[in-house]
Structure 1
Amino acid sequence: MTHARISVSVDAAADPDRVFAVLTDWTRHDEWMVLTRAHVTAGDGRGAGSRLAAFTGVGPVGFLDIMEITGWDPPTTVAVRHTGRLVRGTGEFRVLPRGSGSTITWEEDLDLPFGSIGRLGWLLARPVGTALLRFSLRRLARLCGR
C-alpha cells in the first residue's frame, strides 16, 4: 500500500480556544471545509472513540468519509483515522498559539487506492488537494475571526 501525505498551515487572528471550538463543531464544517458536510455518528464528537461521517461532493455525487477520533487534546490537537471505503489513513489538525492568534495545521497521511493507477493519479491530485485544504483552512481562519 502506498501512502500519500499532505500538510498545510495557515495563520488565524483568533486564539487557539476559539479556533479549536469552531474546528471541532462538526455541524459547521460546511461553512469552511470545501464541498463537505460532516456529522457525528457515534459518541459526542468531543473525544477519542467518537465517530464522524463527512460527505464530500456536489449534490448527490461524491463520497462518504468515515472517521474515528483517535486523539483529542483541546485546544491543540484532534486526530482521526479514516476508515471508509475510498478514504483510508490518518488525519490531524493542530492549533498552536502564535502571538495573539494561532497557526492551524492540517495533515493527512492517506493510503492510496487502486495500486499504480492510484499513485499516478496522486501526482495529479496532490496539488489540487493541497490547494483545497489550504483554501478551507483560510475559510476557517476567517470564520474564527468573526
Structure 2
Amino acid sequence: MTPFLVQHHSRLSVDEAWRRLTAWERHADHVPLTRIVVTTTPPTGVGTRFVARTGAGRAVVDDVMEVVAWQPPSGTTPGRCRLEKRGAVITGWAELEVGPHGAGPQAAGSYVVWREVLRVKGQPRLADPLMNRCGRLVFGRVVRRLLGE
C-alpha cells in the first residue's frame, strides 16, 4: 500500500503546532467514536505507547501505536515523529513533520506533513485506494481542528 499524505500550513508557530499535534489524546476529540489512552508515563518520546479505541458496543477496534522516532523541532530544524502501528487488526505506520513555513525572515507560521500507511487485517488490496482517500479526509480534518483552523 502506498502512503496517504496530508499537507497543511498554519499560522501557529512550529513549537505550538508540534505541541498540539503530538497531544495524542486530543486526536480523539476529532475522530467519531474514538478514545485514546496513553499507556506509558510522560513525557512523549521514543517508546511512548498509546491505543486509539474506535467503535461502539462489541464492535471495537484497537489501534495500538508506539513512537519509534522522536525529534522535536529546534530552531530551523523541523520536528519529526514516527509511529508504528502494532495492533492485531491495524498495522502500518505514520510519520509527522512540522517545520517553519517559508525561509529566513520571510518564514511565517508552520507547515505540517502527515504520511501514513494503514493496513487492516483481512482487507483486500483492492480497497487500498478507498482506505487512502478516507485516511486523507479523516486526518486532514484532525490536523485542521487540532491546529484550530
Q: TM-score range by the shorter chain?
A: 0.7 to 0.9
1:1-146 mapped onto 2 (5 Å cutoff): 3-31=1-29, 33-35=30-32, 36-57=34-55, 59-60=56-57, 61-75=59-73, 76-98=79-101, 99-111=107-119, 113-114=121-122, 117-142=123-148
Secondary structure at 1:129 match in 2: helix
Conservation of the 8 A alpha-carbon contact between 1:112 and 1:119: no
Q: Deviations over 1:114-141 (max 9, x none)?
A: 2xx5211223322222111111111122
Conservation of the 8 A alpha-carbon contact between 2:21 and 2:143: no
Q: Any unmatched runs of 5+ in structure 2?
A: 74-78, 102-106
- What is the rounded CA distance, in whole Å, between the counterparts of 1:112 and 1:5 in structure 2? 14
Secondary structure at 1:49 match in 2: coil
Q: Percent identity over the alignment?
A: 30
Q: Any unmatched runs of 5+ in structure 1?
A: none
- What is the rounded CA distance, in whole Å, between the counterparts of 1:133 and 1:51 in structure 2? 19
Partner amino acid for 1:56?
A: T
- What is the rounded CA distance, in whole Å, between the counterparts of 1:40 and 1:112 in structure 2? 22
Secondary structure at 1:106 match in 2: strand
Higher relative contact order (CA 8 A, sep 6+): 1
- RMSD over aligned Cα atoms: 1.9
Cα 1:30–1:108 change in 2 (3 A) is: same
- What is the rounded CA distance, in whole Å, between the counterparts of 1:45 and 1:86 in structure 2? 27
Q: How far apart are 1:89 and its partner, in Å?
A: 1.5
TM-score for both structures, normalised by structure 2: 0.80
Partner amino acid for 2:138?
A: L
Q: Deviations over 1:18-53 (max 9, x none)?
A: 01111122232223x422322211242511011111
Query: Which has the larger displacement, 126-135 or 76-85?
Result: 126-135
Partner amino acid for 1:44?
A: P
